[in-house]
A and B are shown apart, each in its own frame.
Chain A
């Protein structure tokens, strides 16, 4: 084998190997200090690419400053075509009543706009959704599409600021600045990445004026089928006082979800197990 090929192979598997080592031995001391880019790459995989596929029942509470509460309940299925690469999402809405039975399909490509389809049961209509703005709110919550399905680490430049504990958990604090400032609504993001699981424990988003705009916190971490998972997360809009809590239940990895689920057929007629 050519040395160059061996080298690139080694480099390619490094991230995956590092991530799985970290999962197998939580809290194990890492020999060499990983770079900010490596940390954010691992965090991206840990948060959005665990397993080959995943399904969970998600309950989102949307709470306004004056305490008015709305609830979104949905079943989210995810299937990865490759780690860190192409992904497909299928979302079935259980409530509120005006979105009940709606289905939402996303084909996510790295470096290119998603394909998104929404099915409106009252009209029996599959509607293509424009996906140019990934910062749009997901289902009216404080989470954006990117918060739900991930933002590619390559879109930002990263700097390791310091190491710091979040509660009891040691974390690396990384600052990320968008390479294309016009493409996003934040000028910088500061992330606290858990050293044991590579999951983000906290994120602060600063707006274009440099003021703190939104804060993400991982409220609950659980190990499910060997994968550490953020099962409860909160995004707070500091400017409006509105906040959203997302709780994942019945999380299952590697269920061998059929590729057929991520198709127009399933949009129009979702499998019965989803509507329960």
Chain B
């Protein structure tokens, strides 16, 4: 159904293009082939992850993207559709990556439709960026733009005397895409014995409209933002129902935070903090639902030499009511620490007139011991053609955030021809 819908979109994009050829409506896109070979074969295999244990390739697919972006003085239309041929799963699918209408008024910008929204200043550390993400695409070695998913909603941004206020309303909840039972990726599944599962979307309908606010202003060269969000956890909580059956649901969540970014110490300094108010578990005694948390990050980015850039980050994630959380854990269950510390480093070297990029990203938690390492070589063969080769290496304790993905560590290659 979804597949047919997107084919229809792609077809209408082509028809619109043909009809509008004389009008010079811009049509762009690309074709892309991507493949990722699993480097670490899992040693033991839960029943819910049989496919993930069998499959040598984490990723093997071709994509065709069409982008139609007509624009006028006070309006704009953006339609980006993709047709995906998945060789590993033997499926063809379609996806509307973005599809929205922009309306521009003197002091207000409106955007209506499926849109990608990015908040916050972290590099792969998300605090106030509460919008949906596709972690499966990220782990599988697709280009990082696929980590972001669209939200179906309305964004209105007002601008007054250098201050901007963005209001986001999303009536249709979109969860993060995470490795799940029966999928191609390995992950830590505490309920591995339970094969019977069902997922409930947030309800009722009126209450499930998510709302976000961002207040932005540049003060003396510093970008300052305040954020507020009322919605839901993007990752599901699990509860065992009679049957037994695992019921997955998305508990309500409020987030309040701020960020600041500016030039300092010969580079760029980033600061961000946020408070996650887990509305269904304010006491911390609910075993299924995440406790409230405080998150913060400090980042520093500097150009060490021409075309050589280093970025460093430290981030912390503090759990509230840790005692209550510990009390909910049965004997033999892993217990997370009160604070999760994370350090990251990103080194980027551009060579050959910026046509060759050598990148290294390292993320590790000194107290939980899990890590993620991503070296990548990307070469722009011509202006239209690029190729990237890299490794996604996950490791550490099996129950930690990145350690659980060890069995998905992969060598990936992506080739894209754009027009």
Give chain A interface residues in 219-276, CB to chain B under 8 Å: 242, 260, 263-265, 269, 272-273, 275
Give bound CA distance, A260 to B30, whole Å.
33
Instruction: Please tell me if B190 contacts chain A, counting CB pairs below 8 Å.
Output: no
Q: Which chain B residue lies CB-closest to A64?
A: B353
| Structural contact, B109 and A98, CB atoms closer than 8 A | no
Contact indicator per residue, chain B 190-211, by CB within 8 Å of chain A (1) or not (0): 0000000000000000000000
* A97 contacts partner chain B, Cβ-Cβ < 8 Å: yes
A123 at the interface (CB under 8 A from B): yes
A contact residues around B309 at 8 Å (CB):
130
Question: Counting CB contacts under 8 A, is A24 at the interface?
Answer: no
| A-binding segment of B241-249, B259-267, B326-334, B337-345 | B259-267
Pair B306/A128 contact, Cβ less than 8 Å:
no
Bound CA span A137–B55, Å = 44
Type the 1/0 row for A9-22, where 1 means its CB is closer than 8 Å to any CB of B: 00000000000000
Given A124-B117, A130-B301, A142-B353, verify A97-B306 contact (CB < 8 Å): no
Docked complex Cα distance between A107 and B261 (Å): 15
Assess the A71–B303 pair: CB atoms within 8 A: no
Partner-contacting stretch, out of B87-95, B369-377, B380-388: B380-388
- Cβ contact within 8 Å between A132 and B117: no
Q: Which residue from A95, A113, A128, A133 sits with its C-beta under 8 Å from B383? A: A95
Known contacts A123-B145, A133-B306, A242-B353, A96 near B383 by CB under 8 Å: yes
Interface string of A88-124 (1 = CB under 8 A from B): 0000000111101100000100000111000000111
Contact residues in B for A62 (Cβ distance below 8 Å)? 353
B116 located at the interface, meaning its Cβ lies under 8 Å from any Cβ of chain A in the complex: yes
With A62-B353, A265-B159 as known contacts, state yes or no: A128 contacts B118, CB within 8 Å. no
Q: Are A70 and B383 in contact (CB under 8 A)?
A: yes
Partner of A128, one of B26, B145, B223, B354: B223
| Contact A128–B261 (Cβ < 8 Å) | yes
Query: What are the residues of chain A within 8 A of B268 when measuring CB–CB?
Result: 128-130
Q: In whole angstroms, what is the CA distance A100 to B268 when docked?
A: 25
What A residues does B266 contact at CB under 8 A?
113, 132
Most central of B102, B115, B145, B270 by chain A CB within 10 Å: B145
User: Does B28 sit at the interface, judged by CB under 8 A?
Assistant: yes
Q: Are B380 and A98 in contact (CB under 8 A)?
A: yes
CA distance A142 to B354 in the complex (A): 10
Contact mask for chain A residues 123-152; partner B; CB cutoff 8 A; 1 contact, 0 none: 111101111110111011110100000000
B104 in the interface (beta carbon within 8 A): yes
The 4 closest A-B pairs by CB, nearest first: A140-B354, A97-B418, A96-B383, A122-B145
In the complex, given contacts A114-B263, A126-B223, what are 18 additional A-B residue pairs having Cβ atoms less than 8 angstroms apart? A95-B383, A97-B383, A107-B221, A123-B148, A124-B117, A124-B148, A128-B261, A128-B268, A130-B263, A130-B309, A132-B302, A136-B303, A139-B354, A263-B218, A265-B109, A269-B102, A275-B26, A275-B71
A-B contact pairs, 9 of them (CB 8 A): A64-B353, A96-B384, A107-B221, A114-B263, A128-B121, A133-B306, A137-B307, A140-B354, A142-B353
